Structure 1
Amino acid sequence: MAFSNPYQTYQKQAVTTSKPEELTLMLYQGMVKFIRKSKMAIEQNNLEESHIYNLRAQDILSELKVTLKPGYTISDSLLSLYDYMKSRLIEANIHKSLDLLEEVEGHALELSETWSTAIKQKNTKN
Structure 2
Amino acid sequence: MNAMSAMRQYQTVNTQAQAVDATPHRLIQMLMEGGLTRLAQARGAMERGQIALKGELIGKAIAIIGGLRSGLNLEAGGELARNLDNLYEYMTSKLIQANVKNEVAILDEVSGLLRDVKSGWDAISE
Same fold? TM cut 0.5: yes
Q: Secondary structure at the match of 2:73?
A: coil
Name the CA distance, whole Å, in 1 between partners of 2:86 and 2:53.
28
Residue 112 (structure 1) aligned with residue 112 (structure 2): no
Measure how far apart 1:86 and its partner are: 0.3
TM-score calculated relative to the size of structure 1: 0.88
Q: Which residue of 1 aligns with 2:61?
A: 57
How big is the alpha-carbon RMSD for the aligned residues of Structure 1 and Structure 2?
1.5
Q: Which residue of 2 aligns with 1:15?
A: 19
Residue 95 (structure 1) aligned with residue 101 (structure 2): yes
Measure how far apart 1:6 and its partner are: 2.8
Size of the alignment, in residue pairs? 118
Q: Which residue of 2 aligns with 1:80?
A: 86
TM-score calculated relative to the size of structure 2: 0.88
Q: Which residue of 1 aligns with 2:48?
A: 44
AA of the residue aligned to 1:82? Y
Measure how far apart 1:111 and its partner are: 1.2
Measure how far apart 1:93 and its partner are: 0.7
Structure 2 residues without counterparts, runs of 5 or longer: 1-5
Name the CA distance, whole Å, in 2 between partners of 1:26 and 1:108.
12
| Between 108-117 and 27-36, the greater mean CA deviation after superposition | 108-117
- State the Cα deviation string for residues 44-65 of structure 1 (Å, max 9, x = none): 1111111010000000011111
